[in-house]
Amino acid sequence: MKIVSTVLLFLVSSFSVAEDLIDFEISIKQMSSHYRAFIFFDGEEKYKKSLLSIASQASKYDEILEDKPQLSVRWKAFINQLNRSFEDGSAVHDVNLQANWTLKSDELNNALNEEIKNNLSKALDENPESQSYVRLVLLKMERILTSYMILTNPVGSYGISAETIDIDLQVVEVTAMLERLNLENESLKRVARKWNFIKRVLIKYNTKVAPFVVLHSYDKMRKDIDQYLANI
């Protein structure tokens, strides 16, 4: 009986770590896409505001990073670099700050990828009605958006980075995951409808003509997913 209890405790703990890492990476990816939108749109204030809003809540991850020293160090360095980048209002045009952002961002994502490799695949709920499944869908969407903004906006990213993924392949994967959701739910139905429109734009990242449409659609999808998660 004690062995069974120990195994169950381990599974619950692993599941919790996986969920924490999902939320943590969602924040990182959203910050990255807001930053690149800020650069792309020549200092548009709303993207700076969204970016700094997430950064201001950085301490909420202190607890989950306590036993991940390498990731914790990279996270704090990333946040410090972000805050310095916006201190004097020159982040849009300062080439050195943009290069440092890419460096710190890549260091953070490399450390995060190690944690994901060790933890994320061990405990994930594949039930499409679960919160963790829907949050994983959102995470994969955020990974796609970050990569899209890198590829459509090379000036703000200094080329290929640790966050760049195969957009075409991931779009197919997210589409398949969405098809498993309960699309009778109005919030998820809106997400699926927006996704089916925006996925055609995402795979045309080389055209560099539609970042505003993509970002606007993502804002709507995030709100719908948050609304769904708040009610289950």
pLDDT (tens digit per residue) in 34-74: 998 988 888 899 999 999 999 999 999 999 999 999 999 99
Reported as a single tens digit per residue, the pLDDT across 173-225 is 999 999 999 889 999 999 999 999 999 999 887 776 678 999 999 999 999 99
Domain that holds residue 216: 2-230
Give per-residue burial for 109-136: e unless 16+ CB within 10 Å, then b. bebbeebbeebbeebbbeeeeeebbbbb
Strand, helix or coil for residue 231 = coil
pTM (2 decimals)? 0.86
